[in-house]
Structure 1
Amino acid sequence: MKYKEGKSLADHLNEIQGIVDQLSGMGIKMEDEVVALLVLDSLPESWETLKISLTNSAKDGVINMEIVKSGVLNEEMRKRSQGASSSSSQSDLLTVDSRSRGRSEARGSKQRGKSRGKSNKFANIQCHHCKEKGHIRRFCPKFRNERKKGKRDENSDDDGANSVDEFNIVYEEDVVNLTTQETSWVVDSGATIHVTSKRELFSSYTPGEVCLETMNGTKLLLKDVRHVPEMRLNLISVDKLDEEGYCNTFHNGQWKLTRGSLVLAKGKKLSKLYVTEAKISPEIVNSADNGDTIELWHKRLGHMSEKSMAKLAKKKVIIGLDHVHLKKCVDCLAGKQNRVAFKSSFPSRAKNVLDLVHSDLCEPDVNVKSLGGVRYFVTFIDDHSRKTWMYTLKTKDQALDVFKQFLALVERETGKKLKCIRTDNGGEYRGPFATFCKEHGIRQQFTPPKTPQLNGLAERMNRTLLERVRCLLSHSKLPQSFWGEALLAAVYVWNRSPSVPLKYDAPEKVWTGKEVSYKHLRVFGCKAFVHIPKDERSKLDSKTRPCVFIGYGQNEFGYRFFDPIQKELIRSRDAVFIENETIEDVARKEVPSTNASQPSLGLVPPTPALTEVGEEAQHNQPEIVEQDAPVEVQPEDADDDGQPPAIEGSPVQMTRFGRATRRSTRYPETEYVSLTDGGEPESFTEAMNDEHKQRWIEAMQDEMDSLYENKTFELVKLPKGKRALKNKWVFKIKHDEHNRQPRFKARLVVKGFSQRKGIDFDEIFSPVVKMTSIRTVLGLAAILNLEVEQMDVKTAFLHGDLEEEIYMEQPEGFKKEKKEDYVCRLHKSLYGLKQAPRQWYKKFESVMGEQGYMKTTSDHCVFVKKFPDGDFIILLLYVDDMLISGQNVSKINDLKKELSKSFAMKDLGPAKQILGVRIVQDRDAKKIWLSQEKYIEKVLQRFNMDNAKAVSCPLANHFTLTSKQSPSTEKEKAEMDKIPYASAVGSLMYAMVCTRPDIAHAVGVVSRFLSKPGKEHWEAVKWILRYLRGSSKMSLCFGDGEPVLVGYTDADMAGDVDSRRSTSGYLITLSGGAISWQSRLQKCVALSTTEAEYIATTEACKEMIWMKKFLKELGFQQEQPQLFCDSQSAIHLAKNASLHARSKHIDVRYHWIRDVLEMKQLQLKKIHTDENGSDMCTKTLPREKFDFCRSAAGMTKSPM
């Protein structure tokens, strides 16, 4: 039974229902779904669109008669009201409220406050009540009057009666408007699919995707959208959005669509319908061709936000970037994903440059240093221009140094003075920094405690830089130790990015007034083939080598690369980039896995073997990166629209002094300026661009003059079969004990790690003076009121004569004209050669022998000369530093003159500091103090313990450390791998070895777990650091008592929980201060306290005998020095050679003490435990006893 056009649809439905009833009477029951399908099948082809729509909208795919009946009757009325000729072009909307579907209102609602009179929008619409055209029943005057009288309409025709009884048909003015607007989309909670009548919205003509651009500029991709040509409205299905993971919020007449923290679309309520405005995304047309280009530029621009890229595309500044629609970027999520924002605000900007500067210091990761040990970076942001300068630092105390350089730079550029700087309350901005600001009239604004939002500009800048770094590292697959390189690349690109506060201008453009170029940008971490210059390869060698692109040139044009095979940093302008491949592809395709000499790439950070072709690595020290960072104050989830780095002009690169290489203008200029700890450049190029350039040139010239004067080398042609070693310049600024009067030193160092044993060297051992010897001599100098002078040998290693044939490349900056291809044939040793220390020592030993000095057999770096009149001079040598002590100043000066005849010497006057230990001598009080306060402060800063709460003892009683506390799971091991446990213990150990016997036991305990440290072990290390924070001013003091050796020994029975071995400890003093101490696990398990004490006493005795011999060689005879022990049974065992069950198993080597006592070389005496100063070397002590032990060791607060 087919339905014919023009026939009453109600009659047709009644006929079908009659047939169904007849069949039911015959016992044939038809399912409701079957009847509904029969009705749809009976409709002609002109109803095909409706049939598809009703079928697709059925819940769970099951259609019923109720839906079909309401749908077909609705469509009949629509066609009847519009007329057959305009069925697909009218702009009115019929909204149906089906009671059977449970809807309380029609798809339309009352529109209060609007005109309810006649409107031309209803000109062709017939009222279903009075049958007149020009209005709808809702606005029908006759209908209103009858309703007031309580009457109902009884004059409707059959079709009208059926439809009105079954449906509530409503035409609303605002809803009718929606049908004429292609950009309007109705958010329908009842729709199960997305529907549109616009074919052009589809990216492909399948039930698939439609990309919309919402009014806030974001892209919304609707999936599984159906095309219904005769549909009057565009529908967005709430149910479908929910299935796709979107969040729909309806509140106070507003609709908001979010996904995570991103707001994708918004809409408002019109006539009980939620409507949003959206248009077709223009890049759909070009998506196939433009997608790869967009993704590539996204990576080139350092993972810039979509909004900023859209601004660049709009300005047509990037060729090939017309429209921007980014897919979800995994690297951006890894680096930038945040929580939902609380509030967003954009504060006003300063009116003029340098009116206000924001600053903040940041440490990216306490466990990860960048190349060369860089740990921090600090930013300075001009509030008006949003230009930002970024400096990388090794320690926080460098903040003042870089601020001085920043201040000089910006004031010179602008001709204006800085008025105000806003920072947080960090210690780096207090003290000397605040004093400097006051002296220069710079007002400081500190944010209140725990309110970083008030310094939001700088805080947001640091955060956004790190987000960029994470994105770059995530995409490039480089190790985290490359964060410094990634930071340089990020700020360079960021400086050329649009900024919201600058109305989407780039800070570089605002600062310089010039247009920004993007032609040279490349994807960070991509694969690149770098050209090898002709003079660095043979005719048969490859002309290129695979590298990883890691940034842009700093003070020269070109790019920076990392060679994963040679582990070199390379600078070149001649390279071919493969931007769709990263470091993993280089490692997989270019590095043979079986060649041990070519380590695999990327998994191991560069080691000290890392070198750089042409000049040294950039990030070994603080680097100053001048950038323009337009960053506004935003909450956590805000887009990083503000971006920056600006790279200013820099001096030309010097190949030799007096001559400059002209630069090509093909590549853009960069403006990175580097600074190391205290302003020390890490390479020749950095020195040439440092503010102290002239001082560095003078220092290098002095070094070269020394080389020429000593005839260290001669220029020759490189013989066949020989190879020339490379070299580098090492720069150092040395300060006096007050950190003043800097001395600029430059040293030429050979890269001796490439030397081959048996060819380039044989023996390499060279002695250095022991710390015990230094303390002993200073102890004697204190009590005897001796002179203590200090000298330094300039270019000490240059004086050693070489016995092997070694060649070296010419130093950078000093290549001879017309002899650039020559090499240096070394006649004398240079720093960096493996045999250099040994050859220098042999030379110095021979010179001292000629002067009548004898080296002691106890320490070969201690030289003594005794004069007939009873005077003496003692010289201590530590490589090229020496201490000279004696009674007669004139004789010391004579020695200085003789040494100056043989070597280039520098007289430093009275000794102030050696090996990081500060020396303070009070001749009137006859005392000398040794302090490591500055070193300890740096250690605390390095491990972020400089603000930790201080404690009174180095190790608390609650610490019971065992190997069971070591990591047992892979996750725990991974966590501990991030903690610098070994580095911290090593730093503590150096302090303990030099001046801190009070931490000997604690350091000994934590050092037992270096191979597998756990969290509890790390807590113990931090406890020691907290103790040092509270006692950093403690120092060793010599001068009380007599120059007589006094020793104390003790043992802690079975102190080690794991091995049950005991701990031996001793403390030996001279002139009232400790000169030697030890805390060590015994090599065997002691079976009794007596045995443990006996072994400890033997170890102390060995050290006492060596000390006695050493003092004798210095001229201070010790008859029978006293060694105190608090174990009477151990003393009895040492003095009596008895053999019984409790001692017969003791190793014979420990019975050596019996011979020493029998020969009366020392006295072994009993001391009460409360008076034994060595107890702090073996166990944790109560506060009172620990203070006594420190006092016994001569430890007191430094008077400095």
Structure 2
Amino acid sequence: MEAIWDQLAVCKPKLHNKDDIKSYAEYRDGTKLIQFLMALTDDYEPVRASLLHQEPLPTLEDALPRLQSEETRLGLLCAKPDMAFAVSTSKGNYCGNCRQSGHVYIECPIIECHHCRKKGHIAPNCPTRDPNRSSTLFCRYCKLVGHIIDHCNTRWYFDSACCNHMTSASHVFSDLSSRDRISHIHTADGSLMEVSHKGPISTPSLSMPDAYLIPKLNFNLVSVGQLCDLGYILTFSSTGCSVQDPRTGKIIGNGRKIGRMFELTTLHVPSSNNLCAASTPSSIHLWHQRLGHTSLSKLRPLISMGSLGSIKEDKLDCTACQTAKQAALPFNDSTSSSVSLFDLVHYDVWGPAPTPTMGGCRYFIIFIDDFSRFTWIYLMKSRSEIPQIYINFATMIRTQFSKCIKTFRRDNASEYRDSKLLHFLAEQGTTSEFSCPGTSQQNGRAERKHRHILDSIRAMLISSSCPERTWGEAALTAVYVINRLPSSVLGDKTPFERLFGTPPSYESLRVFGCACFVLLQPHEYTKLQPRARLCCFLGYGTEHKGYRVWDPISQCIRISRHVVFWEHKMFSSLSTFKSIPSTSTPLFTNPSIDLFPHDFDAGSSDELTGASDLPIIPNDLTPAVDPAVQDPALPPPPGLPPRVRKPPSYLHDYHYFSTIMSHYEPQTYREASADPKWRESMQAELQALENTNTWDLVDHPPDKNLMSCKWVFKVKTYSDGSIERYKARLVARGFTQEYGIDYEETFAPVARLTSLRTLLAIAASKKWFIDQMDVKNAFLNGDLDAEVYMQPPPGYSCPPHKVCRLRKALYGLKQAPRSWFAKFHDTIAQLGFTSSTYDNALFIRRNDHGTVILLLYVDDMIITGDDSNGISELKQFLNLHFEMKDLGSLSYFLGIQILSCDDGLFLSQAKYASDLISRAGLTDCKTESTPLETRAHFTPLDGTPLEDPTLYRQLVGSLIYLTVTRPDIAYAVHLVSQFMCAPRSTHFAAVLRIIRYIKGTIFHGLHYSVDSPLILRAYSDADWGGDPTDRRSVTGFCIFLGDSLISWRSKKQQLVARSSTEAEYRAMADTTSEIVWIRWLLGDLGFLQSFPTDLFCDNRSAI
């Protein structure tokens, strides 16, 4: 029993009060006595009853002598084997009542029963006694003994071998649900215990969302593994243990060390609903992040005034602030003081930033009102914008506050002495104050404000892990928050209150960089698609009452008031965020999409203070700002299972297009050198340059031009979007070359796309095999005639003061394409190939064995013909003279996928179209059935001008190349391409409609049949005065080679036609020119058209 008591001692509470220790000692001694007495046999009933009725109860040590005397008296020294807890033994039976041997006390014939007063037995063995009496008495005593067991069952212990939290106490559960199937747990001795129920536990000191109820379990166990699976951090030490939530940094549980076990003190595990809901502003750490990582001295006045709600002030430890706000010696305080608004305005410029913002800005300028200490900030691309920004600022002050700036203080920079700015100051009557040269401390108020803003920017970027390119958004957010922080100079009032007369509201503040969900517009989703999208919170709207968030799918800034925030999760931590399950489509079109693609390079926006140079998608312009945190949507009610949707079998080759990712490509050598894949690619490029003796290391002649160079990185993909290789190419900065000195002629021919389609149509009709080859580092094979010098490339080790004199053409040189084509032309001529007169990049060899045709487009080539031996000979010849890569059968050429099937060839640009849709941010949009509206006409003055036409030009340029296999959009692209110089909102809407049409027809293309006869026929048409601006007509034609469409055009005529007949006749003339050229080309290819070509036109007068 000593061993059992030692184990129970582990459960004793940790006491410090003297009275508690004494009470517990009395309780422990009484419990030991009761347990020992109840373990004795019924022969000890008289003395047991006597001991239990004593007041107070004796200790076990005091009771043992009396029990030993009773044992001797009963003659139990030779007790039966089944009599437990005998203290001593004897050699034979001896009766302590009559002092005779041969029988024991309970068998003594003269003993009297205390129950029936008869002789020959004792009361426990009395036949007239209630048989349940002893068990009732035993139960009564067991209740006393079980008190300590129940006391132990209120304790919880950490167990690393326990698979789940488990207990036998059903009363601690707030809700119990039966198991769908009976499950068991294995104990340490190999036995099984049944799990009867499962549910959450909720007590004042303990709350867990998932625990097992096991009635036969003696102790309560907390599973270490289950807590680790939930993402919590458990720390065990010699003093105890703790459970920490890494999302918030809070300690949610504690435990103490008892012997070699860890007893739980408190534990409150948040439920799953609480994890999904936005965090409640009850933590000083949370408000510290919301307020731009401000100091504790700034927070205390807000807490004392109750502006932030009920907050318990705690020690504020922020790693981001410690690393971002390293302090330098302070500037001296300014002695100036103002008595009213705008008596004195300080301003200063910061920059250039090492990394531009998403809109290309590298500077920001701040204006500080000396009286209210309110700050305004504007982002700039260059310092030349300062005069105009100040003029706009002064005009705003005069309009909004009916004030004029009296004194203007700034440093001694030359930009501030701009004549335009000085003239404006003179007109306004504003006096200027300049700091002395080299003493920027005289403008200390602006300098300290710079430090405050930059400290906040660094802290927000570090804590949120946002890319450096978001520093502009962080700067705007920092100033927005700083204006709402109390200042000791203002008597703990905020600049906002000093300027506007009313205290600011803090209800709308959120943590910079946190994850949030933005409600999409109705046109952005269907009835079965998600209504919200995961975004990154970047600040507050300057012209709209809403939040500014980054949308990683459409790659733009959204402004909306319908936002639900997850402030306990940073957006950057969700790089592998999985979409919320639903019965319709997933939350993202591509769940594995990179949440920070290209560091916000592609199509991103930097709309700051209303001067944006990239497009913004404003979601809502309503005046109220009420981004209330909402509970996650409830799961849909059960119903019929969703129908499984899958593309038809003939589209299996395209199943990757809906999940194409934007692969990251470094922009600088420094970025690439940090990645082993790109380092290996650069090393391979340098090795290729050395193998071809591209340069010699020489001293630089002083009279010669010296070029620089750079690395260009590109992820090469297959037609399905998967990565083929990482390509690093060294290119020369050819724009620094000078004509007549280090270059002369630059033209180099490439194959026309009509020639490509014609060749493929012939190959499909003749069932020729089509092979594809690639020349590695093609330009390095060209020989240079001019003397060209270049700086050594980054990462290339060479002696100091040496430069590279180029012997071979390098990518980026103006003459490099011409040098390569001349080299290839001379080399291929040695094998008997001649270039076509009508397409110089088409090489043909015809002999008695057959025909071999090679089409060259820079370094990519297509080889086909009916002479298989000649094709093999050509490949061997090319491998002998150049470093070639045999790509096998033609499948992907210049962004065109060529699918070979039994009935011919199918050409499409599905991958290119998918990339275009992603770049336009229309991956989740609805589709259109036509590329244009009926009778659509556009003029240069339609709509409003686009603030930045870059995206428009990029999209239209991509659409133009998409017409290589998409004649159905040729006319629509022809219309929108007329406004590349000054596009407007109506034109941009037309471009988006074309892209939505492409999304619905992404797999459309050209089919070249094997049964197509090689006979030309053409169709021509024209409108009359269709352009409302200059009344010029539009020509349209298409030319077929049998059933294969090989050429088409939609182009505005050069002159104004005076009648529809004239317009149609001009269209027929243009078509005839194209027909004649194609007939000559076919003649070179060996397919002479012996009959006139049919030209169809719908105008009888023109015919």
Taking structure 1 as the reference length, the TM-score comes to: 0.43
Taking structure 2 as the reference length, the TM-score comes to: 0.47
